[in-house]
Amino acid sequence: MPSSDVVTISRRLRTMDLSRLRMVLGGLPTVLKYLVIFVFLLNIRSWPLGWHIRIWRPAVWLRVRHWFVNLRSSIYSKDKSRKIEDKWFESVAQLGGNPLDFTSHYKTWASVDESDFNGHLSNSSYPKTLDAARFKAAIEMFPMLFRETGWIPLAGTHFHFIREIPILASYEVRSRIAAWDSKWFYIIHRFVSKPKKGGRPKKQIEQTPHPTVLPSLRTVSGPEEISANGTPFDSTSETSTKATLKSVSNLIAAEEPDGATLHTIAVSHLCFKVGRITIPPSIVFAFNGLTGHESGSNPPPHWDKVRELTAKEAGGSRKKMAEFLKGGWRNVPEDERWWEQAFADIAERNAANLKEVEQLKKGMEGARQVGVHTA
């Protein structure tokens, strides 16, 4: 058969298919058409790039604000423009904030596409929401880190489900730093919903005293990939592992001070990096204006040290700051490490929290051995 005939037949078949499709759609009742469109829109948050938009929205907004600052300052000299930029970064940092008290709020709702057939938010949707909440918290707390192209690897996340979130219900994720050591830091995320006006808040399933205990964000396979030197510990039995998880759950499952209903708790295990170099959390906290100083001064007492590395007018530069973060801090004598002194007032509180959250890590590590039998 000549090729021209094949092309002609192919065109006719496509024309027939399109005409039949029009006939089918034309024959559908109007109500059914609108129903199809409604279902399509109902799942809009699962459309392609929907997750990316939710994740990157706070970062893009910060970038847009930064761009406008640079645009407005472009009419000035290079030195003055840099001073304006430095002042702007100081304005978006949490100057004088306590890292153990600052809470980031991410508000959202249980959409149809994220709920299951039981009529509540699917357990598989919690990590998806947590990605956005964690990214928003990082942007709010550590803008100076991203200025130096830093990133925050995620080594692990642990969930404790307490009460379901009904479909279409509004809720929020409250993220807060729990504790840190020389390499790792832990964030506790609480999925809560506020009672309706005139309604009485539900009694929490687990009530304990309130605990004293929060980019690019990239997920790695586990702590081993980040080359962390963890403290060795003995593998635990199934009983002790369960007891450990219960102990940590009791610590973090405290009632919300505003009477909100607690649905789920998650604990994120993370660290800070510039390139492949790990940065102690206390340095990143201090660089972003956080402090444990009881006076709560703004800016904090150590801020002059930060400006000496970052601010042009104080002798700082991007290069100087990058060199410090990439290992220059090791050359500072231990008795002069201002980033550690900045959190001396809350060292005891941090140590107590760290002891508790590390039980969760050890419990999960011990759980690897549960049910494993060697030949």
- Give residue-wise pLDDT tens across range 127-140: 999 999 999 999 99
Model confidence, pTM? 0.77
Give percent of the chain with pLDDT exceeding 70: 75
Query: What's the rounded Cα separation, in Å, for the pair 229 and 245?
Result: 23
Condensed to tens digits (0 to 9), the pLDDT of residues 270-311 reads: 999 999 999 999 999 999 999 998 765 678 989 999 999 988
Q: Most confidently modeled of 3-12, 28-37, 253-262, 315-324?
A: 315-324
Round the average pLDDT of the chain to a whole number and report it: 81
Q: What angle do CA 102, 107, 109 make, to 5 degrees?
A: 150
Classify the phi-psi angles of 43: left when phi > 0, otherwise alpha if psi is within -120 to 50, otherwise beta.
alpha
What is the radius of gyration, based on Cα positions, of the chain? 26
The residue among 284, 325, 289 whose CA lies nearest residue 307 is 289
Q: Is the CB of residue 311 less than 8 Å from the CB of residue 88?
A: no
Condensed to tens digits (0 to 9), the pLDDT of residues 306-349 reads: 999 988 888 888 889 999 999 999 999 999 999 999 999 999 99
**CATH superfamily entry for domain 94-367:** Hotdog Thioesterase (3.10.129.10)
Give percent of the chain with pLDDT exceeding 90: 49
Q: Is the CB of residue 324 less than 8 Å from the CB of residue 144?
A: no
The residue among 105, 140, 108, 139 whose CA lies nearest residue 125 is 108
Give the pLDDT score at 4: 57
The domain spans of the chain are 94-367
Classify the phi-psi angles of 96: left when phi > 0, otherwise alpha if psi is within -120 to 50, otherwise beta.
left
102 has a pLDDT exceeding 70: yes
Query: What's the rounded Cα separation, in Å, for the pair 341 and 345?
Result: 8
Mean pLDDT within 70-99: 89
Query: What's the rounded Cα separation, in Å, for the pair 106 and 130?
Result: 9
Query: What's the rounded Cα separation, in Å, for the pair 355 and 88?
Result: 37
Tell me the CA distances in angstroms from 234 to 226, 363, 367, 368, 373, one per residue in order.
Answer: 21, 10, 12, 12, 16
Taken in order 211, 216, 221, 227, is the CA torsion positive or negative?
A: negative
The helix/strand/coil state of 329 is helix
Give the pLDDT score at 269: 94
Condensed to tens digits (0 to 9), the pLDDT of residues 161-182 reads: 999 999 999 999 999 999 999 9
